[in-house]
Chains A and B, each alone.
Chain A
Amino acid sequence: MYCVKCGVQLEDGLTACPLCSTPVWNPEPAKRNIHYNPDLYPKQDVRGKFTILSLVTLIFAAISLGCLIACLNYYGRADWSAYVAFSALFLYVTAVLPAWFPRYYPVIFIPVTFAALEGFLLFLCLYTGGHWFLSLAFPVVGMVFLFTYAAFWLARAGILPRLKLRLLGIWFILLGAATMLIELFIHITFPLPMFNWSLYTAGVFAVFGLFLFIASFIKPLRRALYKKTFV
């Protein structure tokens, strides 16, 4: 500890400089227990991000509620304003909600995003009197979610490259099959011919997936593939 005025070194525990009587502002020696007094230090301003997010939340709420109130006043029922409110809610859950957290957590937010999408589509279906949610939107969005989540886990999984390649091959083959399912759901929901286009996509995906699957067993091919496509 040094005197700020005359620059001499001071013995631990002194509260003022013996030479010039300048008070020592931090007389506690470093070797003893230092009691942190929070009042001595200016508060860090940590509000920045949360202030903005609160403002954004308020704007979303204001737009939704404003439209709803205006619509109720004018028409006596939530007419077009329901679309605005649910769209705002969907947008908020997918884009703004993750920002409240320190970083983007895909494990949580991928399912949350898809759940919000399902909810939004359910609202649209019910509100428009459609009959496409259960037979088309729900299973298709559910499948897209499963494939996205599987791809995410596959990218993160710390497994042997050959096993990863094998799983990727299976993923592509299943993706091809899923396109056929999607066309099936479209066929069930709307009067459209079955397996019109999905046979082609399924074929392409199946060939590609099969290639990856087989390549996973052939070491030189697997290495050549990795060399050309490592990220």
Chain B
Amino acid sequence: MSRSWMRLDNAALIFPAVRNSRWANTFRLSADLTDPVDPAVLQQAVEDLMPRFPSYYLRLGTGFFWYFLEEVKAPPRVRPEYAYPLAHMSAREQRQCCFRVLYHDRRVAVEFFHVLTDGTGGVIFLKNLLAQYIRLRYGEEVPSGGDILCLEEEPREIELTDAFQRCSGKYPLSRREDTAYRLRGRPDPRGGTHVITGLVKTADLKAAAKACGATVTALLSALMTDTITEIQAAHVPRKSWKPVKVTVPVNLRKVFDTETLRNFSLVLNIGVDPRLKDYSLEELCREYREQMALESAPEKMAGRIAANVLPQWAMGMRVAPLFLKTLVLRAIYSRVGERKGCINISNMGQVNLPPEMARHVDRMDFMIGVQFTYPNNCSVVSYGDTTCINMVRNIQETELERRFFTRLVRMGIPVLIESGDAEEEL
């Protein structure tokens, strides 16, 4: 029997093209439960989800003209955590399954290759995995509704569609932007991705954002910009300064009102040019709130999507063999992909679970791996009354993390820092 397969969605096209033997674009979502994880039950939950989530249980295949995603023969085996978070997902592993399920003590983690879905899709999958695990492990009646899907239902067409094609505008928006300052550091000889986590009270963060007249994302982006500006000032002579910009993914499901489970987000590069003036935090917050509101207007997003979708269907692009496409996509990625921002700040927002699940889940984490050239990345998720700010890096210096979290503390927001197994309160 032939296995079903699907085209990569528009955003996913870039990820197999730019991966290499040491790097692939992955992200991780995890939840800490109240009890140690039972791997057999977790495995059963992973298997139970397979018919309802066909757009996740996929492997990456190589065609003559395009990559494609093909149904896996069997659901992936759950594994104990075997390395640092977001261990490299090799091409060989991607050919077997594009996500992995890990457990360690009380923690369940799912690491996705970005070709499958984005953060929002990942959260939906993790919620459903946890729901099924809790049903099986504790016999809880977790009701379906909201993000918890009914496993007996057939997957809906809208969940499997490439929403970029449907929501693309007719006229592409230019990608022209100033090149941003690039954070640098000495590569860590230990290799891998290192994480420093800051835990803050969500209420404190919201109060601080409200005081600045901004959203939490705008506040964190403003703080990060301020921090990076300080770093640039400390390391680069003023005449060589560059704009400081942060890359903020926008969940397009809210903009275009769709429920796809595949990739449907675009990044905005918001920032300021510190050569023009010394921006205060309030000014940055105001600037970012306005930039985000302006840039995430549906018509502008449709134009941005068109800039990605229209070239996909150009005859020259379609008939070019895959290796040529890969060369072109790599060139585009190196030109516009990671030169227009300094760091990613991906804010997943508040994750809510039904009470039947919430009493078994203590904490949730979200981590995006470092980009190809960005040595740092920042991911934020709120669960319960705690916001978890994960800063990942692949360099030795922790200057960015230190300055960033110290700024939060100076604003009157207590931060609990975690790093590996050492914990200290600032």
Contacts and interface: CB of A to CB of B under 8 A. Distances in A.
A231 B68 contact: no
B84 interface: no
B319 interface: yes
Interface stretch (A166-174, A200-208, A221-229): A221-229
B61 interface: yes
Interface centre among B2, B61, B318 (most CB of A within 10 A): B2
B64 interface: yes
Contacts of B7: 230
B279 interface: no
B2 A231 contact: no
Given A220-B2, A224-B2, A231 B65 contact: yes
Contacts of B318: 231
A206 B2 CA distance: 28
B63 interface: yes
B65 A229 contact: yes
A155 B40 CA distance: 51
Contacts of B68: 227, 230
Contacts of A220: 2
A114 to B, nearest CB: 20
A55 to B, nearest CB: 28
A133 to B, nearest CB: 33
Interface in A116-139: none
A229 B2 contact: no
A222 B98 CA distance: 26
A223 B68 CA distance: 13
Interface residues of A, number: 8
**Majority SS of interface residues in chain B?**
mixed
B2 A223 contact: yes
Contacts of A229: 63-65
B61 A227 contact: yes
A227 B319 contact: no
Given A220-B2, A224-B2, A231 B70 contact: no
A227 B319 CA distance: 14
B372 interface: no
Nearest to A222: B2
A223 B61 CA distance: 14
A230 B319 CA distance: 9
Nearest to A227: B5
A224 B5 CA distance: 10
B124 to A, nearest CB: 27
B66 interface: yes
B60 to A, nearest CB: 13
A231 B313 CA distance: 9
A231 B65 CA distance: 6
Interface in B345-377: none
Contacts of A231: 65-66, 318-319
A220 B3 CA distance: 10
Contacts of B61: 227
A220 B64 CA distance: 18
A225 B2 CA distance: 12
A216 to B, nearest CB: 16
A4 B168 CA distance: 38
Nearest to A220: B2
Interface in A28-75: none
Contacts of A223: 2
22 contacts: A220-B2, A223-B2, A224-B2, A227-B5, A227-B61, A227-B63, A227-B68, A227-B70, A228-B63, A228-B64, A229-B63, A229-B64, A229-B65, A230-B7, A230-B63, A230-B65, A230-B66, A230-B68, A231-B65, A231-B66, A231-B318, A231-B319
Interface of B: 2, 5, 7, 61, 63-66, 68, 70, 318-319
- A-B pairs with lowest CB-CB distance, top 9: A231-B318, A228-B63, A231-B65, A229-B64, A220-B2, A227-B5, A223-B2, A228-B64, A231-B319
Given A227-B63, A230-B63, 14 more contacts: A223-B2, A224-B2, A227-B5, A227-B61, A227-B68, A228-B63, A229-B64, A229-B65, A230-B7, A230-B66, A230-B68, A231-B65, A231-B66, A231-B318
